[in-house]
Structure 1
């Protein structure tokens, strides 16, 4: 679990930054001169002006667009209410991933069983678990559905490149391409693909991703949380934070936006 911002969810997600503002640059309305008004227009003029005044609120693009942004943010936000687990890149059913990523399994059946058992060991039925992409690949549909039903928890997914139609048709609690969620009071941006900058980066928001299977270095606020990095069990955020603390500090990619704070740059 917009022009992306820190949207607040019913469960208490982030919303410290103001919504994007769009200024109405339209000039004042032109009033037709009396010379151009025929008798009919003069008769209808007051009624038209009254109708325009009545719809003035709907004709303010700034407010309308801000409402639209709020709707988009809500669609990208995952509301979690219970213990939350994170899991990325299991690739259930994908035999070739064993060779490509050097996974220590003799065959795909052993890999599937190991990861499913690790999931069942830590995730309780009432917990939330967010899969950050690539849940399964080339797994027979009947086996995929049986596996999905056997895994406990309220299952959410942030879609990855290997999540085909069979995976998308499973009864997930939610599906997103990118998700904003507050976990244990920490803002998190979840996407299968790593982002170089993200909403609320200066307020400590974390950017957690998969896809790279441990080949893309992280930093103190962003890292690959896939199974090829952490092992075969879902993770709690405190486990991820402990690893983030060992990584190099984030170099703020937005520093150039703060001209007044960059004393080395002269006008």
Structure 2
């Protein structure tokens, strides 16, 4: 069983295509591609921690629940576009943050990077920023011990903690996206 992380799918959100320059012509194409890439990557017995904004669901949480269940998600860290979801009504755990460990790494996981406690001195995994500020919030920023798992930076596929920690072991400078990380690891 592998553990995977990702954020910011924004299922059903047509404006996100233009906002984040996603390579899709319609929300239907985007939603299908996001689900296909997920199923190609994550096995049913793997664990998925989603760092928020599953859907553009500001009303009642139904879309968030529907898409999260299609992903077979295990833990949702509620994002700012998941606000319609009442955590007590969800059929899966919904938190603001969590700590994950893998090997020698400890990760504080949250949707928004500004929500990290001031006294946290290990790695942070977050979403929320998408691909809109790659200088400040690239996929991996070793000096800041930050990882941005917004799906645009991951080629729209969850990344396993095993792969992520391998990238962190090899990274000495910031990596814009998962393609840059793959090139580094393959060297």
The 1:96/1:167 distance shift into structure 2, 3 A limit, reads farther
2:157 corresponds to: 233
TM-score (norm 1): 0.53
Q: How many residues of Structure 1 are paired with residues of Structure 2 in the alignment?
A: 162
User: Residue 183 of structure 2 aligns with which residue?
Assistant: none
Query: What aligned pairs does 1:144-223 form with structure 2 within 5 A after superposition?
Result: 145-152=65-72, 155-166=74-85, 168=87, 169-172=89-92, 174-195=93-114, 201=121, 205-214=122-131, 215=133, 216-218=136-138, 219-220=141-142, 221-223=145-147
Q: Secondary structure at the match of 2:75?
A: strand
What's the TM-score once normalised by structure 2's chain length? 0.74
CA-atom RMSD, angstroms?
Answer: 2.7
Q: Which structure has more strand as a fraction of its residues?
A: 2
The verdict on how the C-alpha distance between 1:186 and 1:141 changes in structure 2, with shifts beyond 3 A counting, is closer
> Residue 90 of structure 1 contacts residue 227 of structure 1 at CA under 8 Å; is this kept in 2?
yes
How far apart, CA to CA, are the structure 1 residues paired with 2:90 and 2:26? 25
- Residue 190 of structure 1 contacts residue 209 of structure 1 at CA under 8 Å; is this kept in 2? yes
Residue 160 of structure 1: how far off its partner (Å): 0.9
Higher relative contact order (CA 8 A, sep 6+): 2
Residues 225/106 of structure 1: CA separation in 2 closer, same or farther (3 Å cut): same
Change (3 A) 1:238 1:199: farther
Shift, 1:106, TM fit: 0.6
Which segments of 5 or more consecutive residues in structure 2 lack a partner in the other structure?
Answer: 175-187
Aligned to 1:247: 173
Q: For residues 45 and 158 of structure 2, what CA distance do their matches in structure 1 show?
A: 15
